[in-house]
Amino acid sequence: MVSREFDLIIYGATGYTGLKTCQYLARTYTEGVRWAIAGRSVLKLEEVREKLVAINPFLSSVPIIKADASDLESLEAMAAQTKVLIITVGPFMKYGEPVVAACIKQGTHYVDSTGESPFVNNIIHKYHQEALDKGVILVPQCGFDSVPSDIGTKM
């Protein structure tokens, strides 16, 4: 894989799942992981960054990337900067496919939090072979329906 500025980008950092993912990273990966937050609104992303700084003061300079699911160029530019793109922007049937396409075009691994089976079926049928050919890993439904099991092991 080509050298990238970031190891991972959280796209949709301003939403509930995106914020929780960012907070986990802020608590867990304090050194050695180069990551950024992304979404449509820089102002809202700055608010997320402030919440992350409350957890880890070293995140005051976590990079912010403006990207919009309706703007393929912005998605491709975002995907080109990272090894892995984690997307928490839903509904995935509406917003997910352009992100998958941008990741495959840029050779970026893709992870999402969808629970939308028709979306997963669609991207498998449409993009599986191209992803294989380009060495891109697609991981839809990461964490979906595993929460009850995960909680059960913690008790």
Total number of domains in the chain: 1
Residue 20, domain member (yes or no): yes
pLDDT above 90 covers what percent of the chain?
81
Residue 44, domain member (yes or no): yes
pLDDT tens digits, the chain, 155 residues: what are they? 568 999 999 999 999 999 999 999 999 987 889 999 999 999 999 999 999 999 999 999 999 999 999 999 999 999 999 999 999 998 999 999 999 999 999 999 999 989 899 999 999 999 999 999 999 999 998 876 655 656 666 66
Cα 80 to chain centroid, rounded? 13
Residue-number span of the structural domain to which 47 is assigned: 6-154
CB 59 within 8 A of CB 31: no
Residue 60, domain member (yes or no): yes
CA 113 – CA 140 distance, rounded (Å): 7
pLDDT of residue 150: 61
Residue 1, domain member (yes or no): no
Residue 53, domain member (yes or no): yes
Residue 50, domain member (yes or no): yes
Residue 105, domain member (yes or no): yes
Angle between helices 72-79 and 92-106 (to 10 degrees): 50
Token pair of 112 as six digits? 């999402």
CA 44 – CA 22 distance, rounded (Å): 14
Q: Residue 71 belongs to a domain with what CATH number?
A: 3.40.50.720
Residue 74, domain member (yes or no): yes
